[in-house]
Amino acid sequence: MKTVSTIDQIRKARARLRGSVGFVPTMGALHAGHESLIARALKENKHVVVSIFVNPTQFAPGEDLAKYPRTLKADLKRCQVAGASLVFTPTSEIMFAKGHDTWVEVEHLGKPLCGQFRPGHFRGVATVVCKLFNLIQPTRAYFGQKDAQQALILTRMAQDLNMPIEVITCPTLREADGLAMSSRNRYLSPGERERALIISRTLFEIQRRYEKGERDVSHLLSVMESSLGAEMDEVQYAEIRRLSDLGELESLNDEPALAAVAGFVGSTRLIDNVVLAPAKRPAKRKNPQA
């Protein structure tokens, strides 16, 4: 496994990789969720490139940029064990050189949910991932469903900008008790860690009710709000939106929907979501006699 930090180095190292390339962009502080993305990328591509970059442009003022966990040595070890060929670890000065003036924005998809609470966040994400895509030129890129809005935005960006890259969204990995894996979980005290479970428990309850036939969005929302409010210190949003474009919904029908939550437990901001989609019917047998 090779580790490089500059634009010239990553271009040269990338040019040496023949065959398909899977790319896993990260902010480091890697956990089993990231490892599952690398494993998937390795299964579907000849090589895997991982980037580790805490992107300052996706943190709003007052957010946790300064204290975001930096665990480079452990991260590189995990990348190596997981089978990455190449890791790109640029500095902010390399990614955002003096005079940088270009921004990529996915306009409507970036407005609701986290977009309301993190000004500039998705613009920062889209810009840095666009830059990384152009540097790495992957065949496929892998993101986690835990950051559902980010995955939708980056899928849209690659399509809208005609990038020859397949963006793949992979299932959320969870701890044994249901908590969605996140680099920010390490901020939680034991008591907060226990209270944080309300998020996944609430989302699973919504999914259970949906599967039992509940289709009334306002009813499901009131269940979410009262459940989350009992344990979280602040609920930023608890919403159910159309999965395809994050549009608002009054009732659930055949279109898949996203039930998504963000808020604080102590001073830690956590997000999670589940997809509400009709169960796939078994394919009709063409010839029932066969």
Active-site residues, by number, are 34
Q: Under a CB-based contact definition with an 8 Å cutoff, are residues 16 and 47 in contact?
A: no
Choosing from 157, 238, 257, 261, the residue that interacts with a second copy (CB under 8 A) is 157
> Rounded to whole angstroms, how far apart are CA atoms 262 and 204?
15
User: Which residue in 182, 71, 87, 167 sits closest to 135, CA to CA?
Assistant: 87
- Least separation in angstroms between residue 162's CB and a second copy is 4
- Least separation in angstroms between residue 160's CB and a second copy is 4
Q: Count Cβ atoms below 10 Å from residue 7 Cβ, excluding itself.
A: 15
> Rounded to whole angstroms, how far apart are CA atoms 246 and 240?
9
Question: Residue 205 interacts with a second copy (CB under 8 A)?
Answer: no
What track of x and - describes contact with a second copy for positions 222 through 261 (by CB under 8 A)? -----------------------x----------------
Considering the complex, state which of residue 31 and residue 156 has its C-beta at the smaller distance from a second copy: 156
DSSP assignment, residue 252?
A: -
Q: Under a CB-based contact definition with an 8 Å cutoff, are residues 157 and 106 in contact?
A: yes
Residue 267, helix vs strand vs coil: coil
Choosing from 64, 160, 233, 250, the residue that interacts with a second copy (CB under 8 A) is 160
- Least separation in angstroms between residue 99's CB and a second copy is 7
Burial 28-66 (b: 16+ CB within 10 A, else e): bbbbebbbbbbbbbbeebebbbbbbbbbebbbeeeeeee
Residues in region 7-36 near a second copy by CB under 8 A? 7, 11
- Least separation in angstroms between residue 111's CB and a second copy is 10
Q: Under a CB-based contact definition with an 8 Å cutoff, are residues 89 and 52 in contact?
A: yes
- Least separation in angstroms between residue 245's CB and a second copy is 7
Sign for the pseudo-dihedral over CA of 131, 136, 139, 144: negative
Residues in region 87-146 near a second copy by CB under 8 A? 99-109, 126-127, 130-131, 134-135, 137
User: How many residues of this chain interact with a second copy, rule: CB under 8 A?
Assistant: 28
Considering the complex, state which of residue 14 and residue 78 has its C-beta at the smaller distance from a second copy: 14
Query: Can you give the binding site for a second copy, defined by CB under 8 A?
Result: 7, 11, 99-109, 126-127, 130-131, 134-135, 137, 156-157, 160-164, 245
